[in-house]
Amino acid sequence: MSRVVILTFDGAQGLDVVGPAEVFGGVARITGARGYDVVVAASRAGAVATSSGLALGVRGLAGLAVRRSDTVLVAGGEEGGVRAAVGDRALVRFVARAARRARRIGSVCSGAFVLAAAGVLDGKRAATHWSACRQLAAYRPAVRVDPESIYVRDGTVWTSAGVTTGIDMALAMVEDDLGRAVADAVAARLVLHARRPGFQSQWSDALVAQQDRGAPLGRAIGWLREHVREPIDVERLARHCAMSVRTFHRRCLEHLRITPRRLIENVRIEEARALLATTELPVKTIAARCGFGDATRMSHAFHRALGLAPGAYRLVAG
C-alpha cells in the first residue's frame, strides 16, 4: 500500500490538507481493495489549527522515515503560517530529504514556498496560487513559476495552484497510479462536475487583483471591461493609456506577466464566463457581446485559457 504524507502547520488552509486526503482515502472505497495510507504530519505531534480554526490531529516528523514509495505533499496556508513554515528548519529538512528519496513530492497552493525553501523547485516549472506567483518568483528566482496552470508536473515534483486545485492534482496522481477509471470514479464520488486538466488556466486569474483602479494598469483594465463589446486592439488600448505600444507591452509584462493581446483576450473571456454562468444566452450571442466576433473565435480562446469549450464551461459553472 502506497503512503501519502501530507505536511501541515498552524495557519494551513484546511482544504489543502483535507481535499487531497479525501481523494487518496476514497480509492479504497471505490476499488474495494487496499488503497493509500494517508498520514497527516507536522513538525510536532499533536494538533495544528487551520486558517478556518479547524484543529487537525497530526503525527510528528520525528521518527517518520521517508519511504521510496511515498508521496509527500506540503499544504499551503495564510501568509503568516507559510512564513513560519518556511522558517521551520525541521520541516524544511524533512522536505529536502523527502525530495531525494520519495517517489514524488508536491505542494498545494502556497506550500510551494516550503518546497522552494528546501531547494526542491530550483530549475523546475512550478505552480502556486495566482496571487502569490510574483512573490514566489522573487523569493526563489531559480524557480520557473507558471502563473497559468492549475497544477504542474515536472519530473517527480508536482505543484498545484490555489486550494481546490490540490484535488485536481491528487486525482491526476491517482490516475497515474491506478488508471483513469479509478480517478474518474473517485471524482464522481466527490461530486466534482468535471476533472480539470493541469494546463487549464486558474479559474481566478491575475486580473482579479487588478480590479482596484489605483493598481498598475487597473484603470486600463476597468476601461477595457466597460468597452469589451467594441473592436479593441493593442494600439487603441495603448492610446487610451497614453502610452506607446512598446511601453504598454512592457508594463503588461511587468505587472501582469502577460502580453497586451492576451490581456484583451482574458478580459473578454472573463466577461463571457460571467454570461455563460448566469444567463441562458446562446454562445454566439455571448461571443458578439464580448467582442469575439463569432463563436468559433470565442471557442478557440476558451480552449487556450481554460482547456474547455464554452458549452462545457457552462456545464461546469452551472
pLDDT of amino acid 276: 86
**Contact present, 169 and 160 (Cβ < 8 Å):** yes
Each of the 318 residues of the chain gets a pLDDT tens digit; together they read 699 999 999 999 999 999 999 999 999 988 887 789 999 999 999 999 999 999 999 999 998 999 999 999 999 999 999 999 999 999 999 999 999 999 999 999 999 999 999 999 999 999 999 889 999 999 999 999 998 788 999 999 999 997 788 999 999 999 999 998 898 889 888 877 555 555 555 544 444 444 444 566 777 888 888 888 898 999 999 998 899 999 999 988 887 778 999 989 988 988 888 788 778 899 999 999 999 999 999 999 998 887 789 988 887 655
Whole-angstrom CA distances from 120 to 112, 130, 138, 148 are: 9, 20, 16, 20
pLDDT of amino acid 270: 82
pLDDT of amino acid 21: 96
Q: Rounded CA gap, 93 and 89, in Å?
A: 6
20: nearest Cα among 42, 1, 4: 4
* Residue located via cell numbers 463569432: 294
**Contact present, 35 and 74 (Cβ < 8 Å):** no
41: nearest Cα among 62, 27, 14, 19: 62
Name residue 125's beta-bridge partners.
Answer: 144
Residue count of the chain, please give it: 318
pLDDT of amino acid 254: 85
Q: Rounded CA gap, 274 and 283, in Å?
A: 12
**Identity of the amino acid at 178:** L
pLDDT of amino acid 203: 43
pLDDT of amino acid 260: 92
pLDDT of amino acid 305: 82
Long-range pairs for 169-175: beta carbons < 8 A, 24 or more residues apart: 169/20, 169/106, 169/108, 169/198, 170/19, 170/20, 170/23, 170/24, 170/73, 171/23, 171/195, 172/198, 173/24, 173/71, 173/104, 173/106, 174/23, 174/24, 174/27
Domains defined for the chain, CATH in brackets:
3-189 (3.40.50.880), 206-317 (1.10.10.60)
Beta-sheet strands, E only, within 140-295: 144-145, 151-154, 157-160
Grid cell listed for 236: 487603441
pTM: predicted TM-score of the whole model, two decimal places: 0.70
